[in-house]
Structure 1
């Protein structure tokens, strides 16, 4: 049986012979999608030049530097995100990716804006987790004017110049937290919310969804005033201690922001009936929240699908560099995972 020819390959790939010749010899540019189609056809028909086509595809991949600006380098959650995002960049199949991960240890918006501008000098596209503030949004719009796409992850911004958002439906997430507190409790009582900062749009929307559920579906529960932790476990610890002392009918807590390890420490140290009765719902499955589930300190963790989020974000960042910018912000809404002591 004769070996497949270039003409056979062109027919199998539904392209012209000249296109196959360009793919094989690399004399002229070929769209990556077209070259990929030729490769698949070559493998399907047993064409002898498969290795040459693969080499051409590998050599033609662009080099893209992906920048990520995360919060608080001392927090294991953000360390985890740095590792997951780096792996997603390294595994991205359509480019030679380089991950540049920076941590913003200062929560001041002017420092975040400065860190954004500094990172933009090193990379081709940026993703950020930060609070919504005019100074940050001004920096984002400046990057858009320079042609550097910026994506928000986990928490969105109001800057019109951002390229897109990758994360959960936060209103639905808050309503789900409320549903668990409503249905796990044997009797209604007082319910609280801890947020790290009201400037995180994700936390604002989670709180909105949480409150709307109780207002519409479980009005017999009494909502307490939302309290801020500044993303600090020590503040969350002190707030939890105080509420355990002063609110005997406290039955539910939604930790929509940082500080959950402080909540866990307070409940562990108290160990009384009120602490054991409290239904706590938190965010993000980490080693700490996994331990909290196992101990019964946390009843439910609502978590971003880490690998899916990282892969989706990296692809969106790369594709934003190849498309003409429009006024439409791309939204990539991902399902959140639900973890309990029974499925960790």
Structure 2
């Protein structure tokens, strides 16, 4: 049979009816390729007498990688810190021949987020997204993965999707931690506890609420959790929500904000001048939450490191592109607890 010395990876992809990336996956024995597809690629390689070129493979490993981070719009200070951290790792990425684009979208709108993901160019070598756990978003993530674009969920997960990995804290544990601190601060007081979230469709917020109610109900039966209030991480909606809680519940003794909008919570608490003051536990160490701890408005802040998370997401996508192993412990995101006395 005639030899085909000029056959290339592109020729194999065309012959097999798959993408170049899929051929590369089969050649390098990477996971997440269907057995039927593997057979098609190998048959095409046999027909074309294609042999992988070790030099070409080495050059491919040194090729450029372009990633996209999909972040929320809005005034969420933690997400703004995350965006800053993504920008500051540009030099490190460039040394690894990798580059990051950033897209902002209303993550509280599943249709908008799903559309944004569907419209991303398939030329990206990976996507990191602060995700909403919604069927539309899950389907869009799965379509990206099917098109050979690995996806990492960041801060908020979509566990039923085909995403590569979740980068974030154990949010159920974070909620339980918040409940333990709040209950201990109250020191035996009885009464109502208000809970705020950005959205229960955000997996991180939902899991925090679950962990919070799980522990508070078991360890502090004298405390009554009020219905959760969703405020889309908006400071004005958060302020209105707290004002309404104070007006409707004279026995309100504490607040737990599992989302953002702490500026609005603080404004409502300061205006109410309630005595004794409410215990307030919040999330994420930002310039504002630091001020609230120092002023005694907030009692504790449960935090995660946005720089660690941004770098971890980039490392995971880069390791996937280079087919290199990760160091699992390096990618574990810790839960931090900050009080006024231990602020960094």
After superposition, give the CA deviation of every residue in 1:242-261 in whole Å (9 maximum; x if it has no partner).
22223222122110112221
Q: Matches of residues 1-344 of structure 1 in structure 2 within 5 Å?
A: 29=55, 61-92=62-93, 95-105=96-106, 107-121=108-122, 123-186=124-187, 187-274=189-276, 276=277, 278-323=278-323, 333-344=332-343
Shift, 1:106, TM fit:
6.4
1:164 shift after superposition: 0.8
Q: Distance in 1 between matches of 2:61 and 2:237?
A: 52
**Unmatched 5+ residue regions in structure 2?**
1-53, 325-329
Change (3 A) 1:279 1:122: farther
TM-score, length-normalised on structure 2?
Answer: 0.76
The whole-number CA distance in structure 2 between the counterparts of 1:85 and 1:292 is: 26
Contact 2:126 / 2:150 at 8 angstroms: preserved in 1? yes
Contact conserved, 2:233 with 2:260, CA < 8 A, in 1?
A: yes
Verify the 8 A CA contact 1:90 1:99 in the aligned structure 2.
no
Deviations along 1:191-222, whole A, 9 cap, x unmatched? 12111111011111111100110122111211
The alpha-carbon deviation at position 31 of structure 1 amounts to 8.9
TM-superposed CA distance for 1:143, in Å, is 0.5
> Shift in Å at residue 297 of structure 1?
1.2
| Structure 1 position 338, deviation (Å) | 1.0
Answer with 187-196 or 91-100: which moved more.
91-100
State TM-score, norm by structure 1: 0.76
Q: Please, what is the CA RMSD of the aligned residues?
A: 2.7
> Equivalent residue of 1:165, what SS?
strand
- 1:76 Cα deviation (Å)? 3.2
User: Structure 1 60/137 Cα, relative in aligned 2: closer, same or farther at 3 Å?
Assistant: closer
Question: CA–CA distance in 2 between the matches of 1:156 and 1:181?
Answer: 26
Whether the 8 Å CA contact 2:284–2:301 is kept in 1: the answer is yes
Distance 1:118 1:95 in 2: 27
- Answer whether contact 1:140 1:159 (CA < 8 A) is retained: no
Question: How far apart, in 2, do the equivalents of 1:73 and 1:266 lie?
Answer: 20
Aligned CA distance change for structure 1 residues 189 and 113 (closer, same or farther; 3 Å) = same
How far apart are residue 272 of structure 1 and its match?
A: 2.7
Residue segments in structure 1 that go unaligned for 5+ positions in a row: 1-27, 33-56, 325-330
Given the superposition, is the C-alpha separation of residues 241 and 215 from structure 1 closer, same or farther in structure 2, using an over 3 Å criterion?
same
Distance 1:122 1:279 in 2: 49
